[in-house]
Amino acid sequence: MGGGPRAGGGVVAHPAAGDHDPVLLVSSVSRSYGRQRVLTDVNLGVRPGELVGVVGENGAGKTTLLRILAGQLRPDGGTVRVRGSLGYCPQQAVVNEALTVGQHLRLFQVAYRLQNDHRARELAERLGLTRYERVPAGVLSGGNQQKLNLVLALMHDPAVVLLDEPYQGFDWETYLRFWDLADDLRARGRAILVISHLAHDIERLDRLHRLRAGALRGPGTEDRR
Amino acid sequence: MRTAGTVAWLTLYELSRNRLAMLLLLVFIPVWISLAHLVFSPVPLDFTHRSTGTLLQVSGRELTMISGSLNAVTLLMGFLMFSATRRARMFDRRLTDAGCPRRALLLAKLVALTVGSLLVAGWATLVMLAYWDVRQPWLLYLALVVSGLIYGGIGIVLGVFLPDDLEGMFTIIMVSIIDLALQNPIANPAADAALIVYLPNYGPMQLGVAAGFTDLVPRAPLLNSLAWCVGCGLVGLVVFHLRTRRHHSAEGPSGTRQQGWSDPVRP
C-alpha cells in the first residue's frame, strides 16, 4: 500500500530534497481500532518553515494521527516519511515524577547525544522553567509539567516538530511566549505541525487542516499565507 | 557508556525516591521477622529438603522466619520494580524515541534490580541474625538475594502490562502467598508435592533451609533460581522491545540531521 501523493488535503507533489520541499510527507494513511475506522485516507505535506494546524472534533483521530507521524503507532495503510530529526510533544506530559527538571534535561541531553545543554537552557529560560531546576516533576503544576514536556521535545532543535495541544495548562503569558517560540522555530526553517484549538490559534497558522471522517479535508483546508 | 551510566544512576535515584517502598523496607521487614520469632512456636517440624533428598527436623519458628523474610523481600522487590516499570512505561518510550539505546534502559533496570536486591536482602539478613545464629549466613543472604531478583523480575514483567499500583501490588501479594504457603509445612504439612519445584521461591526456600539447618550448599535450587531469573529477564526483554519499537526512523543519532528521507513507515 502507500500510493503516491494525491490532490487535496494539503498534499505535496513529490519528496525531492530541496529547501522548499516537504520534510514531512504523509500519503494515504489509514488506521482502525477493531471495526472503528479512525483514519481512512490522510495525505499531508509540511515544508521547512511552515506552521500547519490540524483541528477536529473530539475522537476525530488527531492524536492517533500524531502518534503515527511520531512513529509510535503503525498505520494500517499508507506511508509516513520524515526528513531530518523529529521532535514530538505529546498531549499529556510524559515526564518522570521522581526526577527533577535539571535531571530531565541531563538525561535527555545524553539520550539526544547533545554536546551541551545550551538550547535546553535557553528554552527553559524562555518558558520560565529555570527556577524549578531542582524541583521533582511530580510536584510541578500541570502547566509547568507541560513546559518541561515541550522543552524535552524541542531541546535537540528538530527539523520536524509535532505538537499535540502543547499549551494545555499554560497561563496567558506563557501561552504568548509559546507562540513567540513557534514563530522563532518557523523563522529558523523548522516544520511544525500542531493540533490546535480552533478558537484561539487559527490566525497564527500558515495552513489549517480539518480532520473529518478520517481524512484531512473540507473548507478548513486552505492556505492562510 | 555515558548514556548507560546516566540512565542507571537516575534509575537508582528514582527507586530511592519511592517513599512507600522505603517505609516498607525500614518497618515491614523487621516487624515481619520479629513477629515470626516472637509468635511462632519452636516445635520441630518435618521439612522435605528435596534438593538434598533429606527429611529435616526444623524449628517451626526459624522456618517461619525464613519464609517470612522471603515473603518480605519478594513483596518489597516485586512492588519496587513493578512500580518503577509501570511509571516509566511512557517515559522509557520517550527516551528511546529520543535516541536512548534500549540496551542502556535495560541495563539500568538490571542495575536497579541487582542493587535493590543486594541491599534489601542484606537488611533482612541482618535482622534475621539478630534473632538466630544461622549456620551459613552467606547462603541465607544468597537465598534472599535471588528471591529479590526473581520477584523484582516478575515485577518488571507485570509493570509492562498492569495499569495501576493497586493491581500490581495485589497480584504480587497473591502470587507470593501461593508460592510460599505451598512450601511451608505449617500451612501445607506434606509440602513435598513434585509441583513445588516449579514455584518461583522454591530455589530460595531450599537455599534458606540449607543455610539455616545444614552445612550443605545445594546446586539444584541455585540452577532453579537462575532459570527463573533468566526466564523473567527474557520475557521482560521481549516485551520491552515490542513496547518501545519505532515504526519509522527520522534520524541516525538524535540531534544530527540525516540527509535524505527516512525509511517510509508501512503497514
pLDDT per position as a tens digit, A50-76: 999 888 888 888 889 999 999 888 899
Say what the pLDDT of residue B258 is. 37
Measured CA to CA, the distance from residue B25 to residue A180 in angstroms comes to 49
Q: Please indicate, yes or no, if residue B69 is contained in any of the structural domains.
A: yes
Q: How far is B107 from chain A (nearest CA, A)?
A: 14
Structural domain includes residue B256: no
User: For B7, which residue in chain A has the nearest alpha carbon?
Assistant: A107
Asked if residue B260 has pLDDT above 70, the reply is no
Residue B253 counted as domain residue: no
Domain housing B133: 2-248
**Secondary structure of A117-184 in HEC code, one letter for each residue:** CHHHHHHHHHCCCHHHCCCEHHHCCHHHHHHHHHHHHHCCCCCEEEEECCCCCCCHHHHHHHHHHHHH
Q: Residue B222 falls within a domain, yes or no? A: yes
pLDDT, tens only, B78-88: 988 998 888 88
Encode pLDDT of A14-32 as tens digits.
Answer: 334 456 788 999 999 999 9
Report which of A49, A24, A20 is spatially closest to residue A183, judged by C-alpha positions.
A49
Answer yes or no: do B265 and A97 touch at CB < 8 A: no
Read off the pTM.
0.81
Chain B residues touching A79 at Cβ < 8 A? 264-266
- Which residues of A fall within a CB distance of 8 Å from B97? 70-72, 88
- Is B97 near chain A, with CB under 8 Å? yes
Q: Does B255 touch chain A (CB under 8 A)?
A: yes
- Asked, for residue B263, whether it belongs to a domain, the answer is no
3-state secondary structure of A77: strand
Interface contact B248-A81, CB threshold 8 A? yes
Give the orientation angle of helix B60-87 with respect to helix B165-181, to 10 degrees: 150
What number is the ipTM of this complex?
0.83
Count how many domains chain B has: 1
Rounded to whole angstroms, the Cα distance separating B257 from A90 reads 22
Higher-pLDDT residue of A101 and B257 is: A101
Residue B55 phi/psi, 5° resolution? -105, 115
Q: Which of B17, B100, B255 comes nearest A85 by C-beta?
A: B255
Who among A86, A97, A111 is closest to B250 (CB)? A86
Contact call for residues A88 and A153 (beta carbons, < 8 A): yes
- Is position B262 within any domain? no
- Interface contacts (A, B; CB < 8 Å): 130
B12 in contact with chain A, both atoms CB, cutoff 8 A: no
Beta A207-212 vs A51-55: how paired, if at all?
A: parallel
| DSSP code string of B33-76 | HHHHHHHS---EEEEEETTTTEEEEEEHHHHHHHHHHHHHHHHH
Q: pLDDT at position B15, please?
A: 85
Distance from CA of B149 to the nearest CA of A (A): 23
Residue with cell 505451598: B182
Tell me if B64 is assigned to some domain: yes
The count of residues in chain B is 267
